Structures are given as structure tokens and as C-alpha cells.
Amino acid sequence: MNNLTSVLLANNFHHQFEEWGKQGTAFPFDSGVEQRIVNYSIPAMELTISYRGLTFANYETIRNAYENNNSNTFIVDLNDEATDFLYMEADYVEDDYVSTEFSTIDLRPETMTLNASVWAFKDFQFKIDARSRLYTGKISLITSVFFNFDEYQDLFAQSSSYTRSESSDQSFLNVLTDAQPYAVDLKYVNNAIFSNIGQSVRHARNKGGLKRYWTMYWLLRETDFLKLLTFYRKNSGIMGEFGVPDYGTDTGVSIPYMADDYIEDQDDYILYTGLSSVSNARFQQDSFQYQKRIDGLFLCQADLIEVKL
Amino acid sequence: MSKTISSNSRTDRQLAMLHLFEFDMYNFDNTFKETLYFTDHDIFVNYNSIEYTPLAITFDRLVEDFSMAADSINVTIDNVNSALSNTALSTEWRNNRALIQRVAYTPPTESIKDETYTYGYGDNLDSYPKLNLDSITKDVWTLFAGIIDTFSATESTLQGTITTEFNNWSKPYPTRTYNQNEFTTVVGAMTDIIYWGRQEVA
């Protein structure tokens, strides 16, 4: 079982927990006395880890961990000190970090066995915008009776698979060179099946088909908007497939930052990773929305989803 | 087969409940293959030296008509790892014994880091987590005994219908199975001293 402690607990600034206790039913008698029946006896916990100010390399490490473990369980030991604290933007106070000493939260490594703190991914959402060119996002983990014991793992065998659909198509890149988004959301569509007992998520079956999902946001002048609109009309729906780039490395082209309703600096880029990381994708059906503003600029967004070859 | 709830009714009237399921599997040549043991508890359950595997398994409420007979119930079993549908298609479920037992038990106490939790989770946590019913206070009674009639499987669930044997169909309800509404409708008419048809044992 993979240990993602050092990967997921680095560069984070906030942990949010939600914990469920024992569940059952209470029946009041006419006398007012309650008979309580406990049906689900194992507590469950959801942990949302937030990240801020990640470079592409930081983000890529977390993304690779997600892609390689999207449907299986893995170890995150909250008792382990993370050595690498979050990146601080200038706006934030210097000691704005979370200590990762959680010895009283997850007792499993102490009461059961080392590396018994086993979790699974529930959600993965990041965003990059042209202002900072840094990644902000959060991942959600869930845990309950994911035990790192042969008896459980053999019965409920889990695996994960992801192979990116590569593309050599540059038609959308040509559009993006002019119609440059100011922000991109990055997430995934997960095809795995999870099953439950009570509050406990027990088992995930990897069905393959994990897909990248982008939401792009634009603020464009009419000429650039019309290029994007034309491209959408040619390629929208289920028939069109084209190459969509990843964003955030130090080489490549694209995406100016726009603020105060005008183009501030054409050199203020989010950069994409070049042709080697272009994924085969299409517009999510009927996802293109746009508004014409009174200043003549067009505000629009579209969802794109990876298509498996 | 009794319905004794005595020592499990704690003074604060909290008890834990789980169900044990047994399904007999036969090969297609009608020779016995194995008995599948499942539980709807969160972790493995040991009872009478048999290990019950935790699965997401539910069953319909028993419904009896004015003849006071319960004919069949539907059982839904998690099939996410496809193990059950593979078994179901390679062996004969139909016309074989099925048993549902209800266990009311006192959750065992547990000490973790000098703190004692009155309602613990299980034992043998350092080998692998399981609940051993043999060593804790409990009452076990049969909720439904019958034969498997039909089953159907999808990618995520396997559903079966369990039917009482024909020669039991006309038997009155209380001797064979119990209404799951017992905690509300029956008890609601009683005082807190007399419930579940019995006098409370303090």
C-alpha cells in the first residue's frame, strides 16, 4: 500500500475534518424512555486538505499521486511531521501554517498497527489563475474501515489506473493563443464504484476511465471571442475532439491576465506545458456560456472533458 | 428459538445490533459446495468459531398478512467486487438454505491510551479488526429461515428473494419470524416496564 503522507501533507495550509459517530435508531416509549439501537459502530472521518500557492511542480506531485491512487486506499499518517510547509504569499502572515502534529486525531497507528491510517480520495479540485500563476485547491480524503490488513485487502482488492489520452491536434491551441483564459479549473471525473456499510466506505472498484476535466474562464474582446465561438460551434457536442493543454509550467505560451475590464499586460501569462502534454478532449455538451458586457467585452466559460482514445 | 432480551438491555437502554447471514451454495451436480457467511456489521464478526465477512447487505422489512405468515423477503447484497455474481453464476443458489439471524449485544468496552470507551469497536485490533461475539454478552435469534428462490445481479448489487419453505407457509407468524416493527408499534402500546412481550429484567 502506498504511503502518500509526505506528498499530501506538504504545502498545505488548512485541514478541515468532519467526523461521524455511531449511527442507529432511537425509539421513544410512551413513558418517554428511549430504546437506542446502534447499527453502525465504526466512526468515519472526512478530511479536506487545502493548498495555496503551489507551483506546477508541487501541483504535479499531488496530481500524480491522485492519478495513481484514485480508486485504491493509501496511507496518510497525520502523526508524521511534514517537513515542507506551505508557500506563503506576501499577503499572508508568516506563521500562517498548520502544524501537522495530530497525534490525538487518528489513533490507528498507535492502537492498531503502524500504517493503519488508511484513506481514500473522494475529491480533487484545483484552480490556476493568471494573476498569481500558482495553483490553489483542495482534496478530500475519507477514511473508516480501510484497514491495512491482508484479511481486508485480499477480500476487497483495489487498484487504480490512469493513462492520459494524448493528442497531437493543435487547433484549439491556435484558438487559445488569441482567446486566452484568465483562469482554469482542474478536476477529474472518477468512474470508480464505491460501496458502503453504514458510514463506512468499504471498497472501491477501479473501472478505469478516470478523466481530466477543465473549466476555462475567459474575458475577451469581440474578435478573440468570435474565434472561440466559431471553434465551439465547429467542435461542440460529442463529435468534436481536439487537444487541450495542461497549464502552469515555465515554458510555452498563452493566457494573459485581464483585470479592470482591460488587458493589463499581454506578457502576464499562465503558461502551458507545451505540445507534449496536450490531452485529447472535447467540450462537455452544452457547456459554453457567454455574456456580452456593456463595455463590449465578452465573459465566457466552457467545460472540457478528456476523451479516451 | 426464543426472543429473550434480558441482559442486553442496558440500564441506559442502549444496545448494538447486527445481522448474520448464511447462504448454502451447491454445485450444479447438486453436491454441496460451501456456505457463505456474511454480516452487515462494519468489520468481521466471529460467532461460534465461524467468521462472517462484512458486506453491504440489507433486507426488506418482513411483512405478514392477516394469516400471520411471512412468505418471502428480498435481500440486497453489495456486489461491487463482482465476487458474488461470479459465485452466483458458477453455483446453484436456488432452493438452498438461507438464514438471517439478528444479534443484540452489549458493545464491549475498550481502553485506548488510558481512556475507557464504554462502547468499543471490536477486538484483536492489532491482528485485524473483528468483533468476537463468542466472548461478549449477546442474544441471538433467527429472524428468517428459508430457501433462496430467485436472484438477479447488476454491477453494483445482487438481489435475491428468500422464500419460506412451502411446508411452513401456513405456520403462524410468532413461531417462525418476528415483525421488525417491534420497536415502534408493539412497544409503543406498552409501558417501559413491559416491552418486547417480556418483563424487563433490571
Q: What's the CA angle centered on A55, arms A12 and A241, to 5 degrees?
A: 110
Give the Cα separation of B85 and B79 in Å (integer).
7
Mutate to test the interface with A, among B15, B21, B43, B118 (most CBs of A within 10 A): B43
Give the Cα separation of B123 and B110 in Å (integer).
8
Report the C-alpha dihedral over residues A164, A169, A172, A176, rounded to 10 degrees.
Answer: 80
Min Cα–Cα distance to chain B from A21, Å: 11
Q: Which range, A149-158, A211-220, B79-88, is most confident?
A: A211-220
Residues of chain B with C-beta less than 8 angstroms from the C-beta of A110: 113
Q: What average pLDDT does this structure show over B142-147?
A: 82
H or E element: which one contains A15?
strand A12-20
CA A271 to chain centre: 20
A33 falls within a domain: no
How much is the pLDDT for A268? Answer: 42
Q: A115 to chain B: nearest residue by CA? A: B126
Q: Which whole-number Å values give the CA distances from A277 to A124, A180, A257, B8, B107, in the listed order?
A: 20, 18, 22, 62, 55
Q: Give the number of other CB atoms < 10 A from CB of residue B99.
A: 17
Residue A287's pLDDT band (cuts 50, 70, 90): confident
How much is the pLDDT for B150? Answer: 83
CB-based contact A27 B192, cutoff 8 Å? no
Pairing of strands B157-163, B138-153: antiparallel
Q: What average pLDDT does this structure show over A273-291?
A: 80
Residue A104's pLDDT band (cuts 50, 70, 90): low
Q: What's the CA angle centered on A66, arms B43 and A4, to 5 degrees?
A: 65
How much is the pLDDT for B172? Answer: 47
Q: What average pLDDT does this structure show over A108-127?
A: 85
Min Cα–Cα distance to chain A from B184, Å: 7
Q: A156 to chain B: nearest residue by CA? A: B81
CB-based contact B128 A34, cutoff 8 Å? no
A99 falls within a domain: yes
How much is the pLDDT for A273? Answer: 47
**Average pLDDT, rounded, for chain B:** 72
Say if A149 is an interface residue toward chain B (CB within 8 Å): yes
Grid cell of B7 as nine digits: 441482559
Range of the domain at A269: 5-21+40-306
Q: What average pLDDT does this structure show over A262-289?
A: 64
How much is the pLDDT for A87? Answer: 42
CB-based contact B54 A198, cutoff 8 Å? no
Residue A283's pLDDT band (cuts 50, 70, 90): very high
How much is the pLDDT for A64? Answer: 92
Residue B127's pLDDT band (cuts 50, 70, 90): confident
Residues of chain A with C-beta less than 8 angstroms from the C-beta of B112: 107, 111
Q: What average pLDDT does this structure show over A179-196?
A: 85
Grid cell of A237 as nine digits: 457536442
Residue among B80, B112, B192 minimizing CB distance to A29: B192
Grid cell of A240 as nine digits: 468534436
Residue among B42, B78, B104 minimizing CB distance to A198: B42
Q: DSSP secondary-structure letter at A3? A: B
How much is the pLDDT for A138? Answer: 95
A16 falls within a domain: yes
pLDDT digits (tens, 9 = 90+) for A18-77: 988 777 777 776 777 777 777 776 778 899 999 988 888 888 899 999 999 998 889 998
Residue among B112, B190, B195 minimizing CB distance to A107: B112
Query: Given a cut of 60, is residue A188 above it in pLDDT?
Result: yes
Query: Given a cut of 60, is residue B71 above it in pLDDT?
Result: yes
Say if B53 is an interface residue toward chain A (CB within 8 Å): yes
The mean-pLDDT minimum among A51-55, A83-87, B57-61, B118-122 falls in: A83-87
Give the Cα separation of B53 and B49 in Å (integer).
13
What sign results for the dihedral spanned by CA atoms B38, B136, A146, B41? positive
Pairing of strands B44-47, A74-75: unpaired
Q: What percent of chain B has pLDDT over 70?
A: 66
Say if A195 is an interface residue toward chain B (CB within 8 Å): yes
Q: What average pLDDT does this structure show over A154-168?
A: 85
SS3 A169: coil
Residue A182's pLDDT band (cuts 50, 70, 90): confident
Query: Given a cut of 70, is residue A262 above it in pLDDT?
Result: no
How much is the pLDDT for B124? Answer: 63
Give the Cα separation of A264 and A248 in Å (integer).
20
Residue B56's pLDDT band (cuts 50, 70, 90): confident
Residue B173's pLDDT band (cuts 50, 70, 90): very low
| Owner of C-alpha cell 426488506 | B60
Give the Cα separation of B110 and B176 in Å (integer).
36
Q: Which whole-number Å values give the CA distances from B148 to A216, B28, B58, B61, B86, in the listed order?
A: 54, 15, 15, 17, 17
- pTM here is 0.77
CB-based contact B121 A42, cutoff 8 Å? yes
Query: Given a cut of 90, is residue A275 above it in pLDDT?
Result: no
**Average pLDDT, rounded, for chain A:** 78
How much is the pLDDT for A266? Answer: 41
CB-based contact B54 A145, cutoff 8 Å? yes
How much is the pLDDT for A298? Answer: 93
SS3 A104: coil
How much is the pLDDT for B72? Answer: 75
Q: DSSP secondary-structure letter at A19? A: E
Predicted complex ipTM: 0.71
Q: Of B52, B83, B88, nearest to B160 (Cα)? A: B88
- B21 close to B54: Cβ distance less than 8 angstroms: no
Grid cell of A178 as nine digits: 488569441
CB-based contact B184 A27, cutoff 8 Å? yes
Q: Residue B167 — φ and ψ, nearest 5°?
A: -75, -5
**Which is higher by pLDDT, A230 or A201?**
A230
Q: What average pLDDT does this structure show over A261-270?
A: 41
Grid cell of A113 as nine digits: 498497527
**Which is higher by pLDDT, B123 or B54?**
B54
Residue among A38, A113, A151 minimizing CB distance to B126: A113
**Number of domains making up chain A:** 1
CB-based contact B191 A30, cutoff 8 Å? yes
Residues of chain A with C-beta less than 8 angstroms from the C-beta of B40: 197
How much is the pLDDT for A271? Answer: 47
Give the Cα separation of A152 and B43 in Å (integer).
9
Q: What average pLDDT does this structure show over A108-125?
A: 84
How much is the pLDDT for A80? Answer: 64
Residues of chain B with C-beta less than 8 angstroms from the C-beta of A22: 119
Q: What average pLDDT does this structure show over A91-116?
A: 62
| Owner of C-alpha cell 447484497 | B77
Three-state secondary structure string covering chain B = CCCCCCCCCCCCCEEEEEEEEEEEEECCCCCEEEEEEEECCCCEEEECCEEEEECCEEECCCCCCCCCCCCEEEEEEECCCCHHHHHHHHCECCCCEEEEEEEEECCCCEEECCEEECCCCCECCCCCCEEEHHHCCEEEEEEEEEEEEEEEECCCEEEEEEECCHHHCCCCHHHCCCCHHHHCHHHHCCCCCEECCEECCC
Query: Given a cut of 50, is residue B95 above it in pLDDT?
Result: yes
SS3 A59: helix
Residue among B54, B155, B192 minimizing CB distance to A31: B192
Q: What percent of chain A has pLDDT over 90?
A: 26
Q: A144 to chain B: nearest residue by CA? A: B42
Give the Cα separation of B161 and B179 in Å (integer).
18
Say if A223 is an interface residue toward chain B (CB within 8 Å): no
Residue A263's pLDDT band (cuts 50, 70, 90): very low
Spatial neighbors of A181 by CB under 8 A, at least 6 apart, are: A130, A216, A217, A218, A255, A270
H or E element: which one contains A256?
strand A256-259
Min Cα–Cα distance to chain A from B124, Å: 9
Mutate to test the interface with B, among A202, A206, A207 (most CBs of B within 10 A): A202
How much is the pLDDT for A260? Answer: 35
How much is the pLDDT for A168? Answer: 85
A239 falls within a domain: yes
A30 falls within a domain: no
Pairing of strands A34-40, B14-26: parallel
Q: A113 to chain B: nearest residue by CA? A: B126
Say if A154 is an interface residue toward chain B (CB within 8 Å): no
